[in-house]
Chain A
Amino acid sequence: DNEDSSNARYTLSISGSTSVGPLAEKLAEKYEQQSKINIEINQVGSSAGITNSIKGVSEIGMSSRDLTEEEIASGLKETIIAYDGIVVVTHPSNKVGDLTIEEVKDIFTGKVKNWKQLGGDDMEIVVVSREDGSGSRDAFQEIVGYSSSELIKSALIASGNGNIKNTVATNKHAVGFISFEYIDDTVQPVKINGVEATTKNVLNQSYRLSRPFLFVYKMENLSKEGQSFIDFILSPEGQKIVSDAGIIPLK
Chain B
Amino acid sequence: MNKVKDHLLQGILWISAILTIVILVTIIGFIFLKGYKLMNISFIFGDYSPTGGGGIWPMIITTIYTIMISLVIATPIGVFAAVYLQEYAKQGRLVRMIRFATESLTGIPSIIYGLFGAVFFVATLNFGMSIISASLTLTIIILPVVIRTTEEALKTVPQSYREGSLALGTTKLQTLLKVILPSAVPGILSGIILSMGRIIGESAAIFLTAGTVAALPEGIFSSARTLTVHSYLVTQEAGDIELASAIGIVLIVIIFVLNLTATYISNKLNKAD
Are A and B in direct contact (Cβ within 8 Å)? yes
Interface residues of A (CB under 8 A from B): 1-3, 5, 13, 15, 18-19, 21-22, 25-26, 28-29, 40-44, 48, 55, 57, 159-166, 169, 182
| B237 and A162 contact, CB distance less than 8 A | yes
Q: Does B213 sit at the interface, judged by CB under 8 A?
A: yes
Contacts of A1 on B, CB cut-off 8 Å? Answer: 47
Q: Does B42 sit at the interface, judged by CB under 8 A?
A: no
Contacts of B50 on A, CB cut-off 8 Å? Answer: 22, 25-26, 28-29
Apart from A26-B50, A40-B211, 4 more pairs, CB < 8 Å: A26-B51, A41-B213, A42-B211, A166-B239
Contacts of B49 on A, CB cut-off 8 Å? Answer: 29
| B234 and A162 contact, CB distance less than 8 A | yes
Q: Does B254 sit at the interface, judged by CB under 8 A?
A: no
**Which residue of chain B has its CB nearest to the CB of A159?**
B236
Contacts of A28 on B, CB cut-off 8 Å? Answer: 50
**Which residue of chain A has its CB nearest to the CB of B240?**
A162
Q: Does B184 sit at the interface, judged by CB under 8 A?
A: no
Q: Is the interface of B mostly helix, strand, loop or mixed?
A: loop
**Which residue of chain A has its CB nearest to the CB of B210?**
A42
Size of B's binding interface in residues, CB under 8 A:
28
Contacts of B233 on A, CB cut-off 8 Å? Answer: 18, 21, 43
| Residue interface bits B202-246, CB-to-A below 8 A is 1, else 0 | 000001100111111010000100000000011111111100000
Quick one: which of B51, B123, B211, B214 contacts A15, CB cutoff 8 A?
Answer: B211
- Given A29-B49, A162-B234, does the pair A182, B239 have CB atoms closer than 8 Å? yes
A164 to B239, CA, bound (A): 8
A1 to B46, CA, bound (A): 10
| B211 and A18 contact, CB distance less than 8 A | no
A55 to B128, CA, bound (A): 11
- Given A40-B213, A42-B211, A57-B123, does the pair A19, B237 have CB atoms closer than 8 Å? yes
**Which residue of chain A has its CB nearest to the CB of B241?**
A166
Q: Does B153 sit at the interface, judged by CB under 8 A?
A: no
| Residue interface bits B125-138, CB-to-A below 8 A is 1, else 0 | 00011000000000
Contacts of A22 on B, CB cut-off 8 Å? Answer: 50, 237-238
Contacts of B223 on A, CB cut-off 8 Å? Answer: 13, 40, 42
